[in-house]
Amino acid sequence: MAAPNGSRRIMTQSLEWTGLQKLRNLALAIAATACVSGAGAAAPAPQDQPVKKALTSAEVLAAATAADWRPIDPQSTIYMELPAGRVIIELAPQFAPHYVANVEALARENYFSGLWIERVQDNYVVQWGDPEGKKPIHAAQRTLAAEFERSSRGLSFMPLGDPDTYAPEVGFSDGFPVALDPKLGRAWLIHCYGMVGAGRDNDVDSGGGTELYAVLGHAPRHLDRNVTLLGRVVQGMELLSSLPRGTGALGFYEKPEQRVPIKSFKVAADVPEAQRTPLEELRTDTQTFTEYVNARRNRHEEWFKVPAGHVDICNVPIPVRPHTNTTTR
Amino acid sequence: MAAPNGSRRIMTQSLEWTGLQKLRNLALAIAATACVSGAGAAAPAPQDQPVKKALTSAEVLAAATAADWRPIDPQSTIYMELPAGRVIIELAPQFAPHYVANVEALARENYFSGLWIERVQDNYVVQWGDPEGKKPIHAAQRTLAAEFERSSRGLSFMPLGDPDTYAPEVGFSDGFPVALDPKLGRAWLIHCYGMVGAGRDNDVDSGGGTELYAVLGHAPRHLDRNVTLLGRVVQGMELLSSLPRGTGALGFYEKPEQRVPIKSFKVAADVPEAQRTPLEELRTDTQTFTEYVNARRNRHEEWFKVPAGHVDICNVPIPVRPHTNTTTR
């Protein structure tokens, strides 16, 4: 549906694959090569420069081939069913193998079913689990050793190529935003919008996945390497971010009746195929993804006048769309 | 209210002055001086370093004097009354003088009263105004020349001191996050969470304040210098950020009945004093503010194990609290 006529608007942030608006006229004079490295902002190209067609992110995605996309594995996917609908989380076993296995074990013993979203703190996180900490656990573990970071050896890593305030290097690994310290040979997931982690108490090894949270504000990067991230919300984030904020300390709901019940929390592979939501994600190790990042770095939609010349790691939402061709899996 | 016992949590992001939780034990071994410049992340101080007490942001604020705070001027404040409560916007006439004057003129002719919040796009913006663009305007202007940036001359500017992905320099000016290009001698407001701007069409001079938006996700810095920012939400942001997301293109509400009515939109100075919400803001040009930024840069609450060593300009929410001593104004 188009924006209402006559309303002043600002451009879209996220690509909505299912509802892409008509492609806009191109800002021809602003070439992708206007992107500069270093901290200076790029100036608009003068009108007398050679005209070069630069793609918008919508055009990059429209030109992507089937091979640029990968199906999201239902074995590494969680469906959290809320009264408002399904929240889909892609897990990151390559970064938090034991936490991911434990969250799947918790899902398989129905640990979260009947528990609640208990905390919504504005511009920070939404958290769910057992506010009393009393629900019995059977095959799964209550706590695990922290998985804050891992070796960067053997890691698929696509550098962003822009400076970062917090880490020596940032980029993407298999669809996740990642920071890297080449000197230390260590890598860790980044607290971008929608990332999911395991709450803990003061002891670093006191988490395990029985309390989970998702980021719903400006990336709280100070949490990086302080808490185990284990996945990201790939669909349904708006069901979490639009919840009423809690009025207690840290955004906890003060009254039990304010809590939002979790109807079920399951590994997607355990859900009958007809009830699944097959999704695919743009591969972050492709030329198409590099072009997509460039299109985010310098917007070529007509509306934009001053290209940013840079892009923050958390300003590159990784495109996800319905995966229709399930026979190729 | 304290967090429920036994629940695993992650630390608070924003200071809630009226509900500060009990101060936690200090992580004594991690000194504020562990902060490093450059892009490398700071390592935790070894246990055998001299122990130095470092303050948390709550402790910095608790030690602030009355002179560290400034009342927010009701002449530069907007109250937007929604069914859920009052949203308070501090205007920035030092950056967008004509837009601010026009928004105040629009408020004074009751332009926004009876209009709607018409768009809520997840992880991006909430927007309000007249979706049909037909409401008559009397003394105010419908469009104005853009005020994307200003001269940096004469600007009060407190540098953050951390590298920024987008701008040569970033810092604070009279309570607002600001980017600066010393070579060009230009400064501009930054699209941090809660910042308020004036929507426009493709023409840079097609805005004017009849359509306003607030940032409710990760800072969309690519909008910097592409649209006129004119203020920030200093109270009630959670009333905007928790609204249902629109399902139309760009997050517009598809049905008129989904729109959220604006009961009134007034300059605070025009509201009877007994009905005002007096607020004060931590002065950003004080030593206390510098200490507050340091406490955000390296968290010393016991929960944190790895200090970030850096802080993003949009990860420094500027503290605001009720201003009780109105007689000193």
ipTM score for this prediction:
0.86
The CA radius of gyration of chain A, in Å to the nearest whole number, is: 21
The DSSP bridge partners found for residue B26 are: B301
Strands B125-129 and B116-120: antiparallel
Percent of chain B at pLDDT above 90?
Answer: 80
Tell me the pLDDT band of B29, cut-offs 50, 70 and 90: very low
Q: Is A134 exposed, middle or buried (0-12, 13-18, 19+ CB in 10 A)?
A: exposed
- Check whether A20 has a pLDDT greater than 50: no
A8, part of any domain = no
Q: Does A181 touch chain B (CB under 8 A)?
A: yes
A64 & A92 share domain: no
What's the whole-number mean pLDDT along residues A258-270?
98
Distance CA(B279)–CA(B320), nearest Å, equals 7
* Closest CA of chain A from B190, distance in Å: 12
B3, part of any domain = no
Residue A262 tokens read as 């979790």
Query: Chain B residue closest to A298 (CA)?
Result: B222
The DSSP bridge partners found for residue A128 are: A117, A212
What's the whole-number mean pLDDT along residues B16-29?
25
A193 & A314 share domain: no
* pLDDT at position A54: 86
- Cβ contacts (< 8 Å) between A292 and chain B: which residues? none
Look at the block and give the residue holding tokens 């185990």: A228
Phi, psi of B273 (to 5 degrees): -55, -35
* Residue A92 identity (one-letter amino acid): A
A160, part of any domain = yes
User: Of A260, A277, A294, which one is at a domain's C-terminal end?
Assistant: A277
- Average the pLDDT over each of B33-42, B74-83, B96-105 and give the range with the smallest value: B33-42
Of B119, B127, B165, the CB nearest to A163: B165
- Cβ contacts (< 8 Å) between A252 and chain B: which residues? 1, 3-4, 7
Strands B158-159 and B195-198: unpaired
b/e per residue, B200-219, with b = 16+ CB within 10 A?
Answer: bbeebeebbbbbbbbbbbbb
Distance CA(A291)–CA(A308), nearest Å, equals 16
What's the whole-number mean pLDDT along residues A186-198?
98
Q: What's the total number of domains in chain B?
A: 2
* Closest CA of chain B from A108, distance in Å: 21
Q: Does A224 touch chain B (CB under 8 A)?
A: yes
> Could you give the maximum distance between any two Cα atoms of chain B, in Å?
70
* Closest CA of chain A from B173, distance in Å: 20
Chain A residues 258-277 within an 8 A CB cutoff of chain B: none
A58 & A77 share domain: no
Alpha helices per DSSP H over chain A: 57-62, 97-108, 237-241, 287-297
Distance CA(A16)–CA(B274), nearest Å, equals 46
* pLDDT at position A226: 98
A257 & A178 share domain: yes
* pLDDT at position A214: 98
- Cβ contacts (< 8 Å) between B121 and chain A: which residues? 12-14
End-to-end CA distance of chain B: 32
Q: Does B283 touch chain A (CB under 8 A)?
A: no
Q: Does B207 touch chain A (CB under 8 A)?
A: yes
What's the whole-number mean pLDDT along residues A78-100?
98
- Check whether A11 has a pLDDT greater than 70: no
pLDDT top residue among B57 and B32: B57
Tell me the pLDDT band of B9, cut-offs 50, 70 and 90: low
Q: Sign of the C-alpha dihedral, residues A286, A289, A295, A301?
A: positive
A237 contacts B242? CB cut-off 8 A: no
Q: What is the DSSP letter of A30?
A: S
- Average the pLDDT over each of A38-52, A60-74, B10-24, B233-247 and give the range with the smallest value: B10-24
- Check whether B13 has a pLDDT greater than 90: no
Helix, strand, coil in percent for chain B, rounding step 5: 20, 25, 55
Q: Is A48 exposed, middle or buried (0-12, 13-18, 19+ CB in 10 A)?
A: exposed
State the CATH number of the domain containing residue B94. 2.40.100.10
Range of the domain at B46: 24-70+282-328
B11, part of any domain = no
A6, part of any domain = no
Question: How many CA atoms, within 13 angstroms, populate the side-chain half-sphere of residue A77?
Answer: 21
3-state secondary structure of A26: strand
Averaged confidence pLDDT in chain B? 86
* Closest CA of chain B from A273, distance in Å: 27
The DSSP bridge partners found for residue A87 are: A80
User: Of A236, A260, A277, which one is at a domain's C-terminal end?
Assistant: A277
A26 & A121 share domain: no
Tell me the pLDDT band of A131, cut-offs 50, 70 and 90: confident
Distances (CA, A) of B140 to B110, B145, B269, B276: 11, 14, 18, 24
Q: Does A41 touch chain B (CB under 8 A)?
A: yes
- Check whether A314 has a pLDDT greater than 70: yes
Look at the block and give the residue holding tokens 């016992």: B5
Chain A residues 232-261 within an 8 A CB cutoff of chain B: 237-238, 241-245, 248-250, 252, 254
A232 & A262 share domain: yes
* pLDDT at position A3: 38
A303 & A248 share domain: no
Q: Does B51 touch chain A (CB under 8 A)?
A: no
A9, part of any domain = no
pLDDT top residue among B6 and B270: B270
Task: Confirm if A119 and A125 have CB atoms less than 8 A apart.
Answer: yes
End-to-end CA distance of chain A: 32
SS (H, E, C) B49-81: CCCCCCCCHHHHHHCCCHHHEEECCHHHEEEEE
A316 & A233 share domain: no
* Closest CA of chain B from A42, distance in Å: 10
Task: Confirm if B128 and B139 have CB atoms less than 8 A apart.
Answer: no
B181 & B311 share domain: no
Helix, strand, coil in percent for chain A, rounding step 5: 20, 25, 55
Distances (CA, A) of A73 to A162, B234, B271: 30, 43, 57
Of A7, A194, A227, the CB nearest to B133: A7
Residue B83 tokens read as 């069914």
Look at the block and give the residue holding tokens 């009720």: B322
* Closest CA of chain B from A302, distance in Å: 7
Q: Does B136 touch chain A (CB under 8 A)?
A: no
- Average the pLDDT over each of A264-268, B52-56, B317-321 and give the range with the smallest value: B52-56
User: Of B254, B277, B300, which one is at a domain's C-terminal end?
Assistant: B277
Tell me the pLDDT band of B328, cut-offs 50, 70 and 90: very low
Phi, psi of B199 (to 5 degrees): -60, 155
Q: Does A116 touch chain B (CB under 8 A)?
A: no
Distance CA(A237)–CA(A253), nearest Å, equals 19
Q: Does A202 touch chain B (CB under 8 A)?
A: yes
B15, part of any domain = no
Q: Could you report the per-residue pLDDT of B253-288, keeping only the tens digit for each?
A: 999 999 999 999 999 999 999 999 999 999 999 999
Q: Does A153 touch chain B (CB under 8 A)?
A: no
Task: Confirm if A53 and A33 have CB atoms less than 8 A apart.
Answer: no
Q: Does A18 touch chain B (CB under 8 A)?
A: no
Distance CA(A119)–CA(B3), nearest Å, equals 10
Q: Could you report the per-residue pLDDT of A21-76, keeping only the tens digit for each?
A: 222 222 222 222 222 233 333 333 444 444 456 899 999 999 999 999 999 999 99
B51 & B77 share domain: no
3-state secondary structure of A249: helix
Percent of chain A at pLDDT above 70?
Answer: 82
Task: Confirm if A77 and A89 have CB atoms less than 8 A apart.
Answer: yes
Distance CA(B35)–CA(A97), nearest Å, equals 32
Distance CA(B169)–CA(A280), nearest Å, equals 39
Of B4, B40, B223, the CB nearest to A131: B4
Closest CA to B284 of B166, B185, B159: B159
Alpha helices per DSSP H over chain B: 57-62, 97-108, 237-241, 287-297
Look at the block and give the residue holding tokens 């080449």: A182
A146 & A295 share domain: no
* pLDDT at position B327: 46
- DSSP output for A197-234: EE-B-SSGGG-SSSSEEEE-SS--GGGTTTSEEEEEEE
B268, part of any domain = yes
Averaged confidence pLDDT in chain A? 86
B222 contacts A166? CB cut-off 8 A: no
* pLDDT at position B10: 58
- Cβ contacts (< 8 Å) between B302 and chain A: which residues? 202
Q: Could you report the per-residue pLDDT of A135-165, keeping only the tens digit for each?
A: 999 999 999 999 999 999 999 999 999 999 9
- Cβ contacts (< 8 Å) between A127 and chain B: which residues? 9-10
pTM above 0.90, yes or no: no
What's the whole-number mean pLDDT along residues B161-180?
97
> Could you give the maximum distance between any two Cα atoms of chain A, in Å?
70
- Check whether B195 has a pLDDT greater than 70: yes
Tell me the pLDDT band of B133, cut-offs 50, 70 and 90: confident
* Closest CA of chain B from A115, distance in Å: 12
A238 & A107 share domain: yes
